[in-house]
Structure 1
């Protein structure tokens, strides 16, 4: 039964022999029937909760198909009043909670679920590529989608170039404004060669972006400079402000230890 379900998941090609045993139209029709009426009177609720083609039997067997991924067969005889395997239904519920196999799961943004259909590094790698390509091509709609989906808009490629670098280099003022105003990205990140978005705009001769970045830097650099000038106090600073700290005998913790020792000593003598 597992091979049969895997054959349905594989488009009618047997995963054991690599032989095409079913036509595509047959697979489509069977899966449609399984999805709509494969679980007896529970079919509607199963389609709502699990969203996968499945077929149960009164023997306790249950056949589940994840199209283009895998086929599963479970067997557990205890049945519910409708005639479906109780443990089989529980397995399907847990499967959908852990993996985004539901027919209407969002395959891009269901971050709390695992997706075996995606490559190991596809999530971060393609996100960076899509983000930087959107900035380089001036696609502000795509940038807005990335921002609304919760993506880190400061992501950079292996050369340290961010979306703001590329938008400035290609002369897309609207993208530069969106990244700075709406996304709140830093206006002067440096790539591996130490170049900032302002340097890119000057190199490729985009005067309107140069002007905007200079004005933005002039009005938004005060907070950063104040933060940079505020450094944690050093030991020398502490000693200058509190001269007694240099004398161990005047340290409150040392005084407390000595006092406690003297009290204990007097008690022993008495």
Structure 2
């Protein structure tokens, strides 16, 4: 079993089979906190588990550590989360062997930590205050599995990482056609803050400063400044689930005081009539500076990325935040334009949608699998995080996450979505031994761990064959009645 022996009573109850169930509430709470994350990737702070954890804490307080949990209380605690917990313990999430996957991610984190070079951005004074030694990585899968390593609770500003989020909100609210009347879709091949437009006198794409400033003018144009800011903040908070989203007023003021280049871009856009009619260019710039100054942590940023990976549905709340069309368009532009004038090389080597910011953040999306937020302030010559770029490259070197890794005859990499062959062989051996011994409790654990109870050995024998041959009536009844093992399978 992939779970501690002391957790077995919990799993027994989930099997819905008649069995005695007694468990000390203090132990179960400790088990949840220490092991739920390790084995399944679920955090006890997950909003989906809020009621479950509240009932457990209440039971613990009322029992004073002496009263055992009976079936009624257990069902009260987990009833609303039975499907989620069953999925977790049966390893039915997108990353089934999360403990191994998290270990691999930790190795990538520590190997990348040794990377040196780059310089912390100093043209915005508030960004220059961050230590170059800060380095954090957080991930969240589309099932809400979480893992973090390093400085993942330190707030930092999104900066340009807000651009795809702002664009997604605009497309979701006012539609693709309306947005792209004012902004193009092509990579520029130029620096992100270049005074340049395409052949139609539009900003090249929403991922450069000119495009993001124009997008800012499209969001709630008839509302006042406070309402517009609250409007976007509400979206970002929904994308982050219940995780931290804040605002750095110091960075905002610093952006305005040192934003001569962006003011130049704004006046150039106004001259070329790039803004909607009656739009206030200064107000659009002010709003853009505000959005760049929104703060997240790696832990909240990865949930935002996972919302994009999950088609616009926040994985830890289940709430649809963005339309599928908005997410598709956003990921397409992140893939082609998201990494400044390194976008082509990033698409070639990493093959995943991503967006970087001069704060040192890299928001990475592995579609249908997970979102990742990397953060390390030292930047390379084009403005991307040195450690962030290296981590992304190492990630796709180890796992088959590159967009074209699954082509036929391609070199094999690790696929964390599949259980290894070794795991299957071990499960067959353990299943056969449990059947040979007549150990119904062990058989029940295997069923809960998503083991195929009709797995065959080298003689094409199932556990039912073995239990029958050894005369273990209870095991035979369990396998046929509870697990629905086919009694007509023939061995060799």
Category of TM-score, reference length = shorter chain:
0.3 to 0.5
Scaled by the length of structure 2, the TM-score of the pair is 0.25
- Which gives a bigger RCO, structure 1 or 2 (Cα 8 Å, sep 6+)? 2
